[in-house]
Amino acid sequence: MVFKKTLGITLVFALILLTGLAVNSQTVSVQADPVKGKVENVIFMIPDGYSSAYATNYRWFKGSTPVMDNYLVGMMKTYSANTKVTDSAAAGTAMATGVKTNNGMISISPEGKNLKTILEASVDRGKSSGLVATSTITHATPAVFASHVASRADEADIAPQLLNKVDVILGGGKQYFTHESKGGKQKERDLLEEAEKDGYQLVNNRDQLMKTQTGKLLGLFSDDAMAPELNRKETQEPSLAEMTDKAIQTLSKNRKGFFLMVEGSQIDWAGHANDAAWAMSDTEAFEKAVKVAIDYAKKDGKTLVVIAGDHDTGGMSVGGYNQYAANPEVLRNVKATGDGMAAKLNTDRSNVKEVIKTYAGIDLKEEEVEKIKKASKPGNAINGVINERALVGWTSGQHTGTDVPLYAYGPGSHLFSGLRDNTDLPKLMAKAMRVELNNN
């Protein structure tokens, strides 16, 4: 009886141990598959100008955990070939080609050599490609993935290089497809007609974009840059999330996979303007686009999503003004950019109080009213008042050289962990997709 009882207990413990091992093995397997599986698609998302201070302020602004927080894997260095503080052209070139170049250069080495991009390498393997931005689509960051020019200012020279190399092109900048610069003068041209002959569907507004089905797609929603997210409802422009979703729907028709770059362009512009509300609003719009990409990657199982700002803009702080406090929740009440509110002021600026109350929910003090009335740039003065209420400080109106957060999800995401250089990213994407990116 004692032997049978002991044997029974032993068997029970053995069964429990084996069950535990099986569960643990299954758990490890489930966790490992999304990380080490096959990569057919890469969605590279760039919140331009975004750093850890933006991430922290946005967490408080939102009041809950942002989507990106769940996928933080490391940090990234941002310096360019000729300076410790990069611009978007040099940073983007490093993130697209794996080679550092001088500020202002678009996928060209400091010596003037064209550099192959991760988008071009993907296309060479038969994959589809897409570029999405809220700036002009010929602006520095989207430009580096599919064009090669010595100066980022040459947007008219960038536009024709995108056609037929990129299957889905969505953003602003229609003027660069209808005019070209000749000796400082503009000359009429029609790249749009050329694009249509080459099979692109042309769309000009949100409704047209939503109705498209398949094939190559060229959506230019503004002559210049698209509107800030705070002004989106006043336009017929699609959101960044809607453009991202449509790009994924279109590109995913290719069985060989796709490469898609999505830029939250105006986070950077908000930083240049020291406009905290604009920065948070466009970060929110970017987060919605990230959710679209992550949701697709979770269903697809073969999509790697990588997220990293190209540099910090403005040197934003969390708290400041000699107080141990921060109050970014104030920014939730702001309904327009600083410049947008300034545009609502009448000639003598006598309606300052009414405008700021209506669009920012703030009751101005008399000294604040006078400050805005006397300012040579009232938009900056308005931003200053809002920043002080939110306790968000700034050290610059330009870029800074601080490291930025790096996020990744999906198969291959483990490759990006740790402190990375910006040149590592396209090389790791190429490795994950098994495409050749050789710029030696």
pLDDT at 2: 43
Residue 394 scores a pLDDT above 80 = yes
pLDDT at 8: 46
> How confident is residue 309, by pLDDT bands cut at 50, 70 and 90?
very high
Nearest to 159 by CA among 178, 135, 183: 178
The reply to whether 154 sits in an annotated binding site is: no
Residue 107 scores a pLDDT above 80 = yes
d(CA 344, CA 359): 10
**pLDDT tens digits, one per residue of 195-213:** 999 999 999 999 999 999 8
183-189 average pLDDT score: 67
Question: What percentage of the chain has pLDDT greater than the value 90?
Answer: 86
pLDDT at 183: 60
User: Residue 157 to residues 103, 174, 178, 383: CA-CA distances in angstroms?
Assistant: 18, 13, 12, 35
pLDDT at 185: 64
Pairing of strands 168-172, 399-400: unpaired
271-280 average pLDDT score: 98
**pLDDT tens digits, one per residue of 24-77:** 333 332 333 456 679 999 999 999 999 999 999 999 999 999 999 999 999 999
User: Which residues, 6 or more positions from 30, have their beta carbon under 8 angstroms from its beta carbon?
Assistant: none
Task: Tokens for 248, please give them.
Answer: 């994924």
Instruction: Classify the phi-psi angles of 434: left when phi > 0, otherwise alpha if psi is within -120 to 50, otherwise beta.
Output: left
Residue 21 scores a pLDDT above 90 = no
User: Which residues, 6 or more positions from 64, have their beta carbon under 8 angstroms from its beta carbon?
Assistant: none
Q: Which of 80, 88, 147, 222 is catalytic?
A: 88
pLDDT at 28: 31
**pLDDT tens digits, one per residue of 248-267:** 999 999 999 999 999 999 99
161-176 average pLDDT score: 97
The reply to whether 263 sits in an annotated binding site is: yes
Cα torsion 262, 158, 51, 276 to 10°: value is -90
d(CA 82, CA 93): 13
**pLDDT tens digits, one per residue of 402-438:** 999 999 999 999 999 999 999 999 999 999 999 999 9
d(CA 22, CA 129): 42
CB burial string 131-168: b at 16+ within 10 A, e below: bbbbbbbbbbbbbbbbbbbeebebbbbbbbbbbebbbb
pLDDT at 440: 76
Bridge partners (DSSP) listed for residue 200: none
The structural domains of the chain, with segments of one domain joined by +, span 39-315+397-433, 328-390
pLDDT at 206: 97
pLDDT at 30: 31
The reply to whether 414 sits in an annotated binding site is: no
* CATH H-level, domain 39-315+397-433: superfamily: Alkaline Phosphatase, subunit A (3.40.720.10)
82-111 average pLDDT score: 98
HEC string of the chain equals CHHHHHHHHHHHHHHHHHHHHHHHHHHHHHHHHHHHCCCCEEEEEEECCCCHHHHHHHHHHHCCCCHHHHHEEEEEECCCCCCCCCCHHHHHHHHHHCCCCCCCCECECCCCCECCCHHHHHHHCCCEEEEEEEEECCCHHHHCCCCCECCCCCHHHHHHHHECCECEEEEECCHHHHEEEECCEEEECCHHHHHHHCCCEEECCHHHHHHCCCCCEEEECCCCCCCCHHHHHHCCCCCHHHHHHHHHHHHCCCCCCEEEEEEECHHHHHHHCCCHHHHHHHHHHHHHHHHHHHHHHHHHCCEEEEEECCCEECCCCCEECCECCCCHHHHHHCCCCHHHHHCCCCCCCCCHHHHHHHHHCCCCCHHHHHHHHHCCCHHHHHHHHHHHHHCECCCCCCEECCCEEEEEECCCHHHHCEEEECCHHHHHHHHHHCCCCCCC
pLDDT at 180: 77
Q: Establish whether 376 is a catalytic residue.
A: no
Nearest to 49 by CA among 229, 270, 226: 270
Identify residue 288 by its one-letter amino acid code.
K
pLDDT at 213: 84
Q: Residue 348, Cβ neighbours under 10 Å: how many? A: 8
318-333 average pLDDT score: 94
CA atoms within 13 Å, Cβ hemisphere of 68: 28
pLDDT at 184: 57
The reply to whether 268 sits in an annotated binding site is: yes
d(CA 66, CA 29): 27
pLDDT at 189: 78
Question: What percentage of the chain has pLDDT greater than the value 70?
Answer: 90
Identify residue 160 by its one-letter amino acid code.
P
Average pLDDT value over all residues in the chain: 91
pLDDT at 5: 42
pLDDT at 186: 67
Residue 4 scores a pLDDT above 60 = no
pLDDT at 25: 35
Nearest to 302 by CA among 414, 409, 215: 409
The reply to whether 363 sits in an annotated binding site is: no
pLDDT at 103: 98
The reply to whether 139 sits in an annotated binding site is: yes
